[in-house]
Structure 1
Amino acid sequence: MKRTSIILILILIIVFSCQQKKQEQETTTTTADTIEFTEIIKEDYELYQPHKEVKAVLILFGGYPEVAEDIQREFKILDMARKNSIAVIFSNFNQKLWLEESEKHQLAASLQKVIVENQLPTDRIFIGGFSSGGVVCLLISNFIVGMKQYHIDPKGVFIVDSPIDLVALYKSSEKNIERNFSEPSIQESTWLLETLGSNFGNPKDHIKKYEDKAVFTYSTGNITNLNKLKKTKIRLYTEPDTLWWKENRMADYEQMNAFYIKKLSENLIEKGYEHVEYIPTTNKGYRANGERHPHSWAIVDKKDLIKWMLNE
């Protein structure tokens, strides 16, 4: 009898713990406009989903060190998304300047699983990313559209000041180390040369390896990894503040992400891509802590982005 009582107590403890864990992962919130949202917190992502009609799904990838919490802090889109009945998925997938084939399959499958399991619409998906997250955004979108087993083709994609040209990154890093001007620039450039060099070699001798992985290679005009997005809406955000980069990093315009983003937009339009928008901004780049930095989520006009998604 005593043993039976102990077992019952243990069962009750386990049930209570599971219920408590579920409550921690799924909570309901109500906005001032009485639109109820469910928050689902997982290891790989955070999902904020309206209870009733979902007008669109927004998937966001952060910069190299950013996880869901960081994206929410730097890109305060959630309240606006709630008011417009848009589900938002903040991904924890990061630290990628390119994607291997196995990573593309795994990421596409995981995104499809999230969307299907939560009964989100598969025909109104938009994917965006900041910095290296924009690289992920474009590469995975192109991959999904090109693979029949995935049924979550994005209707639109956007990047925020992303380093889209790996050859340009390598060459710029060489210049930064030679100048020896900014400690953050030297540290980043040293890491980039080691990372790119160890994976692909020097682009002078191995340009094909760079073209195979990069979003865009300006020196050769290669956009192979975007060839499935001709009919997809594409937005390219950047803030070409040449003065800030010169004063803070001693960088030339040709070293900035903005230069290659503009060249990419011109290349895509020239090759018949139907819905490409190049969006340069001025003095919008500020981090959440108030620091002035043109390389920031803040350069995106959130209200205009919502309109773009909803075709208003």
Structure 2
Amino acid sequence: MKLIFTFLISLLSLTVFAQSPPGKYIQINNSNCLIFDYNYTTKDTVTWTGTCLSNYADGYGIATWKKNGQDSCKYTGYLKAGKPEGRGKLAYGDNYTLQGTFKNGRLQGKGLINDDGNVMKAQFVNNTLQGPGTMTFKTRLSMKGHFLDGQFINLDNQYLNRLAKVKSNLQNTEHIYSDVKKTDSLFYYTVLPEGSIKGVLVLLPSSGESVESVICNNKKLVEQASDQHIITILLSINNAAIDEDNLTLKFLNNTFQQVTDRYHLPKDKFIIGGLSGGGMLALRYTEIAKAGGNKTYIIPKAVFGADPPVDMAGLYNTSKRFITMNDGRANLSQGMMNGLAEAKWLANSFNKIYGGSPDQFPDEYIKHSMYSRSQVDGGNAKYLTDVPVRIYCDPDILWQMKERNRDYYDMNAVDQSAMINFLNIIGNKNASFIPALGKGYRLDGTRHPHSWSIVDAEGLVDWIGELVD
């Protein structure tokens, strides 16, 4: 099945209590002893194995919270007047723990977070990791970087100093960014070059990927772009399609207008791209811009995608085929099970979004596809006749067969190469399908063709440089 999602390591917003409700003291089960509950609800109960001093839990012990009778959190360490004080460990289930020194109930100083075997170490400031630190994956691959409000970013210092996070005036009302609530503001990062700006690189996350993960995965690309006087912009969109009147389009337009005004950017030198779903957004934004109607703030100079699905009808049909071949089959690996779950999600989502299958509603699929192989004119791809286009793909069929029970018919490469071939035929001399065989690896070092690493940073920056000079 042709992936939209990319299951990269989630770089979390590593706050513990800072954004929680005020909390309150609650009574420990079967006693008059009190302990502070930072996320109190009326369904909370707590037990404590330690001593009680002046009606408050005090000293060393284990506090176990339950919600609706189910364990929700466990603290092992010291308490003072009912709050964590001194060395302690906080565990949420079996796979997420925080360790360090607590002061008046808050983590302060050196500590770590273990997220299912992926360990983040740095200084805690009011429960949030800040400053220089490390990320060590369960594969034992380790990276040095910097925590900004709990988010890990691995840029070198000279580029980190040029990084800025900007809050948008738009809220996440349509939940186009899955990492924050609908009432939260959307945001974007900029990485400025030193000196003049001659071009703009826009990077869009894949489905479910954090913006910070995009930076970490594209460290070399972002830094080389900065060296070549190209500003990089990264937007908080990872859970959305694009239409001609929705929040996704509005957020893109508003951001492009804000950065253009603030940094006096050349509107005709934007290059936009992304991985998977981010690449889909980049292609559709460019097609909408080229179709006319003044629906976009910029008309991208060029567009690229890292393994993006491009034909929604093809994606639906291969999803249904994958379900038929694998649903109910015994001894599927975890990766195959993930592929099966995604195929079911895609088929169900497309049935809701488009009303049914491509056979039932062909026009809806053509309208929302980047390219339609069923159409002689290529569908929306016809608007890219004079736009430089790059599509990167790691067409490792042996990996797909072994790890995912897929064959050539199930790979994004089939429709991607057809799209580029169509563009070449109609006269686009700067449309390229770039096979990056064997180059797909995740941040933690594991092999996966559907990854940012298939994009050759140096080659892409050279291409952008030629376009904006």
TM-score (norm 1): 0.84
Alpha-carbon distance in 2 for matches of 1:234, 1:195 = 28
Partner of 1:6: none
The answer (yes or no) to whether the contact 1:36–1:51 under 8 Å persists in 2 is no
Deviations 1:242-268 (A, max 9, x none): 111111111110110011101111111
1:71-150 counterparts in 2 under 5 A?
71-76=214-219, 77-96=221-240, 98-103=241-246, 105-118=249-262, 119-145=264-290, 146-148=292-294, 150=296
| Root-mean-square deviation over aligned CA pairs | 2.4
Deviations 1:17-46 (A, max 9, x none): xxxxxxx99xxxx97889973524333211
Partner of 1:7: none
Alpha-carbon distance in 1 for matches of 2:278, 2:343 = 19
Alpha-carbon distance in 1 for matches of 2:282, 2:252 = 11
Alpha-carbon distance in 2 for matches of 1:56, 1:136 = 20
Structure (1 or 2) with the greater helix fraction: 1
Give the match's secondary structure for 1:194.
helix
Partner of 1:4: none
Aligned-pair identity in percent equals: 28
Quote the offset at 1:171 in angstroms. 1.1
2:156 counterpart of 1:41? no
Quote the offset at 1:116 in angstroms. 2.3
Structure showing greater radius of gyration is: 2
Give the match's secondary structure for 1:128.
strand
Partner of 2:37: none
Quote the offset at 1:125 in angstroms. 1.0
Alpha-carbon distance in 1 for matches of 2:211, 2:422 = 32
Alpha-carbon distance in 2 for matches of 1:120, 1:211 = 34
The answer (yes or no) to whether the contact 1:128–1:159 under 8 Å persists in 2 is yes
Alpha-carbon distance in 1 for matches of 2:427, 2:166 = 40
Quote the offset at 1:122 in angstroms. 1.4
Alpha-carbon distance in 2 for matches of 1:95, 1:150 = 20
Give the match's secondary structure for 1:291.
coil
Structure (1 or 2) with the greater strand fraction: 2
Quote the offset at 1:226 in angstroms. 3.0
Quote the offset at 1:67 in angstroms. 2.6
Counterpart selection for 1:59 from 176, 198, 202:
202
2:435 counterpart of 1:290? no
- Against the structure 1 CA distance between its residues 54 and 178, is the aligned structure 2 distance closer, same or farther, given a 3 Å change threshold? same
Task: Give unmatched runs, 5+ long, in structure 2.
Answer: 1-147, 150-154, 168-185, 327-331
Structure 2 counterpart of 1:192, one-letter code:
L
Counterpart selection for 1:177 from 323, 341, 359:
323
- Against the structure 1 CA distance between its residues 140 and 150, is the aligned structure 2 distance closer, same or farther, given a 3 Å change threshold? closer
Quote the offset at 1:73 in angstroms. 1.7
Alpha-carbon distance in 1 for matches of 2:400, 2:201 = 31
- Comparing 41-50 with 216-225, greater Cα deviation is found at 216-225
Number of matched pairs: 284
Quote the offset at 1:150 in angstroms. 4.5
The answer (yes or no) to whether the contact 2:194–2:227 under 8 Å persists in 1 is no
Alpha-carbon distance in 2 for matches of 1:105, 1:126 = 16
2:338 counterpart of 1:195? no
Partner of 2:367: 212
The answer (yes or no) to whether the contact 1:285–1:298 under 8 Å persists in 2 is yes
Quote the offset at 1:143 in angstroms. 1.6
Q: Which has the higher contact order (CA 8 A, sep 6+)?
A: 1
Quote the offset at 1:114 in angstroms. 2.6
Alpha-carbon distance in 2 for matches of 1:205, 1:49 = 48
Partner of 1:257: 412
Partner of 1:159: 305
Alpha-carbon distance in 2 for matches of 1:120, 1:273 = 27
Alpha-carbon distance in 2 for matches of 1:34, 1:90 = 15
Quote the offset at 1:75 in angstroms. 1.9
Task: Give unmatched runs, 5+ long, in structure 1.
Answer: 1-23
Structure 2 counterpart of 1:298, one-letter code:
S
